[in-house]
Amino acid sequence: MSRFKNKRVLVTGGTRGIGRAAALAFSSAGARVVVAGSTAQSTAAAVAEFDDASITGVAGDIGNVNDCRRLVQNAIDELQGLDILVNSAGVFQPASIEETDEDLWDRIMNINVRGSYFCSRAAVETLRQNRGCIVHLGSESGVNGYGGSTAYCASKGAIVNLTRSMAMELAPEIRVNAVCPGVVDTDMARRGFAIDGVQEKGIQQQRDSYPLNRVATADEIAASILYLASDDSRFITGESLVIDGGATVGK
């Protein structure tokens, strides 16, 4: 309950999926949390659903640098400081190289890479003062790469190297790590892997290729995020932790 007592946490993309699970887990462990969602309406709805006095919200488009600065500053003001930043906001849109035009490329890169970078940059001064940490959401696909979602894989590959480079530059005051999940059963994966529009079919197909016969839950990824944000991982920085139920072991 008190593992994160008095810790102040900002989770971008905290209104849904992995970010939402992380926000709940941090709050249950004693932290005060601000979740950042993409619109005022969706953020207010998520905060109302949390029904938890220790979770509040800010809204902004992570693909827009001014919004990144503003929402990080709003969270710092609200929490009177910041100890932990989790960059979970992201988009996944399977598309072949022929289908990936400039607009789609820019959208994926702006939200997944530029957003994570500029939210982190806006938080650096405060995190330095508090000897805080950053946890990025990479992806197993950013380590191994897949056809059919090249831009997404490139964006998550960038997160892996952003994690290493930021860790080197921000040490010793700020630790920077990433979690790199395989498929996680969230709206993102259900929409992205749907077969003929049927989400369950897509999840089933993914599940069949996993040694543990299932994909991850958002709570399981949240548990690793909390580990990387906790004192238990105090000698870990620059790491990208692949969490894929053994799907890529030995490949």
Ligand X SMILES: NC(=O)c1ccc[n+]([C@@H]2O[C@H](COP(=O)([O-])OP(=O)(O)OC[C@H]3O[C@@H](n4cnc5c(N)ncnc54)[C@H](O)[C@@H]3O)[C@@H](O)[C@H]2O)c1
Stretch that binds ligand X, among 87-95, 118-126, 166-174, 226-234 (CB under 6 A): 87-95
Catalytic residue among 146, 152, 210, 227: 152
Active site residue 152: yes
* 157 contacts ligand X (rule: CB under 6 A): no
The answer to whether 57 and 47 are in contact (CB under 8 A) is yes
181-240 residues in contact with ligand X (CB under 6 A) are 181, 183-184, 186-189
Q: Give me the sign of the Cα torsion angle 16, 151, 115, 65.
A: negative
Q: Which of 76, 84, 85, 91 contacts ligand X by CB under 6 A?
A: 91
Is the preceding peptide bond at 181 cis, omega within 30 degrees of 0? no
- For residue 227, CA distances in Å to 25, 62, 79, 161 come to 11, 25, 22, 20
> Is the Cβ–Cβ distance between 152 and 108 less than 8 Å?
yes
Q: Which of 89, 151, 166, 170 binds ligand X (CB under 6 A)?
A: 89
Residues 105-124 that bind ligand X (CB under 6 A): 111
**Binding residues with ligand X: total (CB under 6 A):** 26
Answer whether 174's CB lies under 8 Å from 133's CB.
yes
- Which sequence positions are flagged as catalytic? 152
- The binding site for ligand X (CB under 6 A) comprises 13, 15-19, 37-38, 61-63, 88-92, 111, 137, 139, 181, 183-184, 186-189
